[in-house]
Chains A and B, each alone.
Chain A
Amino acid sequence: MKNLRHINNSFNDDKVIDACSIFGAMDTSGKRFSGTGVIKAIANMHDRGNGLGGGFAVYGLYPEYKDLYAFHVMYLSAEGRNETESYLKECFDIIHREDVPSRKTAKISNPPVIIRYFLDIESHQPDASLQDDYVLNAIMHINTTRKDSFVFSGGKNMAVFKGVGYPEEIAEFFCLEQYEGYIWTSHGRFPTNTQAWWGGAHPFSILDWTVVHNGEISSYGINKRYLESYGYHCTMQTDTEVIAYAVDLLMRKHKLPLEIMAKVLAPPFWSDIERMPEKEQKLLLALRQVYGSIMLNGPFAILVAHHGELIGLTDRIRLRPLTIGEKDDMVYFSSEESAIRLISPSLDKAWTPMGGEPVIARLKQDGLQTTENRVEAVLSRR
């Protein structure tokens, strides 16, 4: 088994610590828009990164292949590519394969080979309820055992582009201004203890879930042990990986609604819970009792996205910044308000959510308000 820990954490620290800039944008009408604005916005927060990692997640990216799993795979050697491609052929029907377009730039030196595959699994795993697990196992298998290969993302109609460099340099390298999507998230990284490795940049993804993260999770040690008892292997030793697995466990496996998941990751204080109406109190009490070990403690601001939803969340006492901007159907999430105003100067609304208060942008056809906090709303109506 290859040691991702060694690649991502060459000094064998407890965990890889990094601070960052994060930016996200969503058109809640579902209209796709170009990455130009997002690139400009994240570039405006250049100083929050140190050039050792930048990345983007884009949703609604491949409408022509929207029912196929889109794998973006990084190869560091031809041998690794051969090994992984033969594995992919075994597990999937490769409908289409191409190089991820990139351009030679002055700033990005020695880039790896990055290929994308559009994969059909119907003939391998016809049971729709098991397909996600099938794909996830394949990705974990490649990432932990196949030589010199690493899957950046493996969801449908979405992809992650990331690498070593400032985010605007990564965008230039991957020609991201040419793509369109209805959700974009991006990240500029300031790691303190990792060598330049493309797989270590954000966003982190599991299937179509992506996470970008600014902060340090001081509860990492117990979060990791908790997830390990549910069969996750935290191979990269980063806080962000833990968040991605937590989202997968809580939402995909335990089927908790998004708002409830947010209350698990950043729960209200006991003293607040004690003041809630009975039904709400009962729910939040049980959440903390059962999921206390996966609560994220320590400074963080995260953007978690999947198809149809983009959520912004900070820790309970908001030790990392997050600002929200709204303009017509657009919702922006950013470490700094200036980055939002740079690309959308006349916002309808801009605000900073309370610590631990989830802000959720949803596609409008779901018939839900953009940022309504459904936990309180539903329960207080009863």
Chain B
Amino acid sequence: MKTLLTSKFAVIRDPEKCIQCQVCINQCSFNANYFDAEENEVKSRNENCVDCQRCVIFCPTGAITITNTPLEYRYNRNWTGSIIDDINKQAETGGVLLTGMGTDKDYPVYWDHLLLNASQVTNPSIDPLREPMELITYLGGKPDKLEIDEKTLELKTKMLPQVKLNVPIMFSAMSYGAVSLNVQKSLAKAASETGTMWNTGEGGLHSSLKKYSNNTIVQVASGRFGVHSEYLNAGRIVEIKIGQGAKPGIGGHLPGEKVSCEVSLTRMIPQGSDAISPAPHHDIYSIEDLLQLIHALKEATNYTKPISVKIAAVHNAAAIASGIVRGGADMVVIDGFRGATGAAPKIIRDNVGIPIELALASVDSRLREEGIRNKASIVISGGIRNSGDIIKAIALGADAVNIGTSALIALGCHVCQQCHTGKCAWGICTSDLKLTKRVNPEIGAQRLINLLRGWSLEIKDILGGLGVNSIESLRGNRLHLRGVGLTDTELEILGVRPAGR
């Protein structure tokens, strides 16, 4: 069938700079560049280009530019180019449209409507270059109060397991299979050197990563791939994944082509077989079932590890989070609808869930109203772009944040949204060994360490400006936030005042 789709991007090659070296051909995994032997010239197939910028960066003479194709559909508020294209794709394939990364739709980003405070006159700002500035955060359930022996001043309360983070920024769950082993190695090494956590995702733990176990969160998802006693005990935190912000309510599907020998060993499934994660956990059909799984995992790990439950930010996230905490979870992870994915139906990614800012605010408020906020840590994820987003999230009430896309960008990702194709030219979201070697774990780890260091320094600067020297004095401190361009209802949900008040 002839495709009615048009090219989205144009590869423009400067003939004066191009030396016909064919590097662009080797770098492009989408087959957008080719060598025309008849004309003895490097050429491009625009229709294959996804604007991943791989050839642009690796062209030794800087000859390549990628632009949006000059062809534009006639303007129409309803029938935009992407809608016409999607209809054509489905008319040609009859399938569900898949996509990768987080939604690119124009929904409000509430971080950009929140502004931070700073000290002037009545209290001094604190200079982080001269004074201690503390970012250490402990995740895990906390008791309502401590009992202390009045005579010996010894602690009588037995604390639940706590996990220390040097920075309140962790890496989101990205499974082996969805991302390459080199990506996981980079994340694990960076987490270990920075003193934070990386997350296995649902694909099990590769044997070469066991040495990072102190900085590992092991995930138990609906497919239960690679879950066994040793795996559970190899992590510092065990996370039950109920849902994901990019695709709330549906499961996952790792195609058999991606289940290589190593992936099959780690996931404990036959090589080449599809790895299907069901939409629900088939042993969790209600909150009391979740409670049982939480306690089963606590038993399995001898009460030495916090148990986390990750949900997608959906309409009644606050009530669900309350149930999760009452069910005995030590951490609640909420993934907002801008959260990314290796593959999800586009219609779900772009239409299901709620913004993380509103979900976080309502969950934190709800847990406080119920007097159970201390029983669990709140971690949020889904579109955290910089240290400003992080500090606003903490002021709204988060203990820590997870970053996924930001971390992958540090490893080379250019957010071209082709994760679901398995052809990632940057070697990130693929299991093709020719491509995965493009991520060097040593360099990757260093780039991630640098990113976390830079953000930490910025967070310290902001804290000092606010006049506090410890992150816990900002956590849930919404008086340090003001809203701009928000409705009264949005301000009420966020629990912040409008700027100027």
Contact = CB atoms under 8 A, between A and B. Distances in A.
Interface of A: 12, 14-15, 17, 19, 192, 215-216, 218-222, 225-226, 228-230, 253-257, 259-260, 269-271, 279, 282-283, 286-293, 295, 297-299, 316-317, 319, 374-375, 378-379, 382
Interface string B150-173: 101111010100100000000000
Interface stretch (B26-34, B342-350, B461-469): B461-469
Given A297-B468, A298-B123, 12 more contacts: A218-B467, A220-B477, A222-B477, A271-B132, A289-B138, A290-B142, A292-B472, A293-B374, A298-B468, A299-B124, A374-B153, A375-B153
B104 interface: no
Given A228-B368, A293-B472, A374-B153, A192 B146 contact: no
A26 B369 CA distance: 41
B153 A260 contact: yes
Given A295-B472, A295-B473, A286 B467 contact: no
A326 to B, nearest CB: 25
B122 A17 contact: yes
Contacts of B159: 286, 289-290
Nearest to B153: A378
Helix, strand, loop or mixed for chain B's interface? loop
A222 B476 contact: yes
Contacts of A257: 148, 150, 153
14 contacts: A219-B468, A219-B473, A222-B473, A225-B477, A229-B371, A256-B148, A269-B134, A286-B146, A289-B162, A290-B146, A290-B374, A293-B476, A299-B123, A316-B469
Interface in B431-446: none
Nearest to A13: B501
Contacts of B460: none
Contacts of B60: none
Contacts of A293: 374, 472, 475-476
Contacts of A291: 146
Contacts of A216: 122-123, 467
Nearest to A14: B479
B153 A319 contact: no
B146 A225 contact: no
Given A257-B150, A269-B132, A289-B162, A319 B480 contact: no
B143 interface: yes
B161 to A, nearest CB: 11
Contacts of B145: 253-254, 290
Contacts of A283: 148, 153-155
Given A218-B466, A289-B159, A317 B126 contact: yes
Interface string B452-491: 0000000000000011111011111111100000000000
A291 B150 CA distance: 18
Nearest to B399: A292
B320 interface: no
A366 to B, nearest CB: 13
B131 interface: yes
Given A216-B122, A219-B473, A317 B466 contact: no
B357 to A, nearest CB: 17
Given A218-B466, A297-B473, A382 B134 contact: no
Nearest to A289: B138
B423 interface: no
B88 interface: no
B469 A287 contact: no
Given A271-B132, A316-B469, A229 B124 contact: no
